[in-house]
Amino acid sequence: MNDVLTIILPVFLVIGGGYLAAWKGGFQESAVDGLMSFTTNFAIPCLLFRGIWQLDLGGDFDPWQLVSFYSGTLIGFTVGLLGARFVFHRDWEDAVAIGFCCLFANTVMLGLPISERAYGEGSLQYNYVIVALHSPIGYGLGITAMEIVRARRDNIPNRQLPIKVASAMFRNALVIAIMLGAMANLMDLRFPVVMTDALDLMIRAALPAALFGMGGVLYRYRPEGDFRIIAFICAVSLLLHPAITFTLGRATGLSDGALRAAVVTAAMAPGINTYVFANMYGRAKRVAASGVLISTAISVLTAWIWLALLP
């Protein structure tokens, strides 16, 4: 138990440091916004670019890892969508936003540092396989569902949907970085040492800055809204998704490295992007923000449980 807590707690202490600094007034909202803008638009895209650029999809790659993780993602979205609509009686647009909260795990700000501390930097190659598709699949599914709902509401022709989805996707810095990294990987590009050293400087700042900034963001969005729905989001995100991933990973014979990365990533709380999505469409914003805050706090316990269960 102590070993697992040693892995998890430093990550959450950095988040807590950002939360405390914002609470005590030493981390102003403008500073939080600036730090998060730096990390999400520049530092983390550099991290993802390098990770995808140097990703080796050779003998270690197992497509069942993606099947295990993204089956949980799709089921989580479906359960979240239908539960919000038919159990909690939200309208379809709110239901899509709540479904997005259930599908979009915090794969980068939480998943990468916890995996790195648990299994070493070399293990992250398995995480990057998942991360490479996470934003395209997550945003693609969420945006498509929301645009379909809105198109039906506004009687917009279906032929306009692909343009709306594509324009929203390609404005996302993470998606752009992943695409550029994939292109560099496929073309087997090589860059001068000074460029890769500069890239490494950005990368070293990415995760600690993102975690500290995340604490400031979480302070801003204090718990509000329907706590039954928030509890529902926490259950789907922290229990159902990793349980599906773990079960399918075991059933398909994933290697220890691939199984660890898939389950740890699936077990992460919803990321800040869930609030970004809700804010983008102006739907279920309080629920999304509160879901991120409360599930992140609870994930200290659930992440410990999942790490203890993994080989």
Using an 8 Å Cβ cutoff, are 200 and 15 in contact? no
Structural domains of the chain, with CATH: 2-23+34-309 (1.20.1530.20)
Using an 8 Å Cβ cutoff, are 292 and 274 in contact? yes
Quote the pLDDT of residue 222.
67
CA distance 106 to 265: 7
pLDDT tens profile 101-157: 999 998 887 888 889 888 988 888 899 889 888 878 888 898 889 888 888 887 777
Q: CA angle 75-131-12, nearest 5°? A: 90
Quote the pLDDT of residue 4.
56
Written as one string, the DSSP assignment of 1-66 is -HHHHHHHHHHHHHHHHHHHHHHTTSS-HHHHHHHHHHIIIIIHHHHHHHHHHT---STT--HHHH
CA distance 108 to 122: 16
Quote the pLDDT of residue 1.
46
Tokens of 125: 């190659």
Report residues of the chain scoring pLDDT below 70.
1-5, 7, 57-60, 168-169, 222-225
CA distance 116 to 210: 15
Q: Report long-range pairs for 42-45 (Cβ below 8 Å, ≥24 apart).
A: 42/173, 42/202, 43/202, 43/203, 43/205, 43/206, 43/209, 43/210, 44/108, 44/109, 44/174, 44/177, 44/206, 44/210, 45/173, 45/174, 45/176, 45/177
pTM, entire model: 0.80
Strands, E, within the chain: which ranges? none
Tokens of 266: 């699936």
Tokens of 223: 């718990």
Using an 8 Å Cβ cutoff, are 118 and 307 in contact? yes
Quote the pLDDT of residue 59.
57
Within 13 Å and on the Cβ side, how many CA atoms surround 104?
28
CA distance 176 to 183: 11
